[in-house]
Amino acid sequence: MNVTTAPGTGRVSVMADLRAATWPCHQRLEQRIDVGARFADRDRYCAHLARMWGFCAALEERLHPQIVEMSLPDYAERRKAPLLLRDLSALGLSPALTAALPRCQHVPDCADLAAALGCMYVFEGASLGGRAMLPMIEKRLGLTAVHGAAFMASYGDDVDRMWRVFGQALEAGCDLPSSRARAVAGAVQTFEALGDWLGG
């Protein structure tokens, strides 16, 4: 999918708007967290995943399936919290310990489809980044997509197709100026909330 113009319209795509609006947030997030340090050893990697789970679990409680599945029938396959739970279990955390992990209390409100798609944009994009980081995690920590790095591996070889399908749903679900604005707001709010949560 062309991320600069919406297919068949010549208009700037919703994806391009989201990318431009969230770029400063993305840069601030990278400045606030030291990825190299967080993946330096298994203990710090586990602590990072626990923090990510606290955010994703809270966010996915706001992403009501009956709303999201109007555009993305495969939403259940896209949820990140179950992957993070699988990784935390592989790294030795018991169900009791994971249940007691703190959850973010300040995640965006995803009351409608456009806002929900904007929130999802952040983590669908992270799936692309996670795949790129997987070889480093495998080499440095000895983890794999099936043991400890399921969140980073995300959709495996299917990541490009899943991203393309998400992009199509984003364009179709945010075709009005008002819905586009809500998607942009949802994405920016998600990035900012995640930065505060991980950097706090």
**What pTM value is reported for the model?**
0.90
Give the residue ranges of DSSP H helices in the chain.
14-32, 35-38, 42-62, 65-68, 75-78, 81-90, 95-99, 113-141, 150-153, 159-173, 177-199
Please provide the size of the chain in residues: 200
- Is residue 18 domain-resident? no
- Is residue 178 domain-resident? yes
Greatest extent of the chain over all pairs of C-alpha atoms, in Å = 52
Distance separating alpha carbons of residues 198 and 96, to the nearest angstrom: 22
- Is residue 68 domain-resident? yes
**Domain count along the chain:** 1
- Is residue 53 domain-resident? yes
Summarize pLDDT for 139-156 with one digit per residue, the tens.
999 999 999 999 999 999
pLDDT in the model for residue 185: 95
Summarize pLDDT for 3-52 with one digit per residue, the tens.
455 555 556 899 999 999 999 988 888 888 787 888 899 999 999 999 99
In this prediction, residues 146-168 reach a mean pLDDT of 95
- Is residue 5 domain-resident? no
pLDDT in the model for residue 34: 80
- Is residue 159 domain-resident? yes
Distance separating alpha carbons of residues 191 and 120, to the nearest angstrom: 10
In this prediction, residues 124-139 reach a mean pLDDT of 91
Residue 89, pLDDT above cutoff 60: yes
Residue 162, pLDDT above cutoff 90: yes
- CATH number, residue 170: 1.20.910.10
- Is the model more confident about 7 or about 187? 187
CB atoms within 10 A of CB 79: 17
- Is residue 3 domain-resident? no
- Is residue 26 domain-resident? no
Domain limits for position 41: 33-199
In this prediction, residues 64-81 reach a mean pLDDT of 94
Contacts of 165 (CB under 8 A, 6+ apart): 72, 74
pLDDT in the model for residue 4: 58
Averaged pLDDT of the chain: 91
- Vertex 163, ends 53 and 135: CA angle to 5°? 65
